[in-house]
Amino acid sequence: MNPDRALRRSRLKLLALITVFALPMLAAWVMVTWRVGIPEQRTAHGELSPEVPLLAEWPLNELPLSLQTNDWILAFDCGTECDAQADQWWRLHRALGREADRISRLRIGGQATEPLPGETLAQWAEVPEWRSPGKLWVLDPQGMAAVSYTEGVDAADVLDDVQQLLDMNPQPPGSVDAEVAKR
């Protein structure tokens, strides 16, 4: 084979290889710069709340021991219709089906003496500035607020977000529930 032809062939292969790796980067740059091909749909219905501290730092009278697990937590601040809110979030909890055991509920405030099944009661020791009556927070297993919702949010939207969070964050392999699910 002619050495000049072999050199040209090697250069073409190198150019093709560079093109294969550079073309996706060029396409991504075009998509970001001119907003072409980027979906406009919204997947989360809640809001991010970076100002909310970890659950362990919340000014509650006492943090119940039942919440110091590796569960996700639905924490809601009872506003005006506390019993109706508690019932709504209890129904949402049940709607999760087999994933319901990965969620705990924390009701803060209100006049309830008996919690609903799967619910923990707490009271504010002092009112933090980031608090707002009727607010709902979804807390991750480390106690960080993943998403928050204002009063009057549709429970179906919260259910959609919680299911997505649980799907994206599967049970750790060593957990008891993960072992039962394998059988």
C-alpha 57 chain-centroid distance: 20
- Would you kindly state where each structural domain of the chain is located, as residue ranges? 1-40, 55-170
When the candidates are 3.40.640.10, 3.30.565.10, 3.30.499.10, 3.40.30.10, the CATH number that belongs to 55-170 is 3.40.30.10
pLDDT at residue 7, rounded to an integer: 92
C-alpha 5 chain-centroid distance: 58
Mean pLDDT for each 10-residue chunk of the chain (183 residues)? Answer: 88 94 92 81 75 88 71 86 87 91 88 80 88 88 89 89 88 58 47
pLDDT at residue 179, rounded to an integer: 46
pLDDT at residue 41, rounded to an integer: 64
Specify burial of residue 155 (Cβ count, 10 A radius: 0-12, 13-18, 19+).
Answer: middle
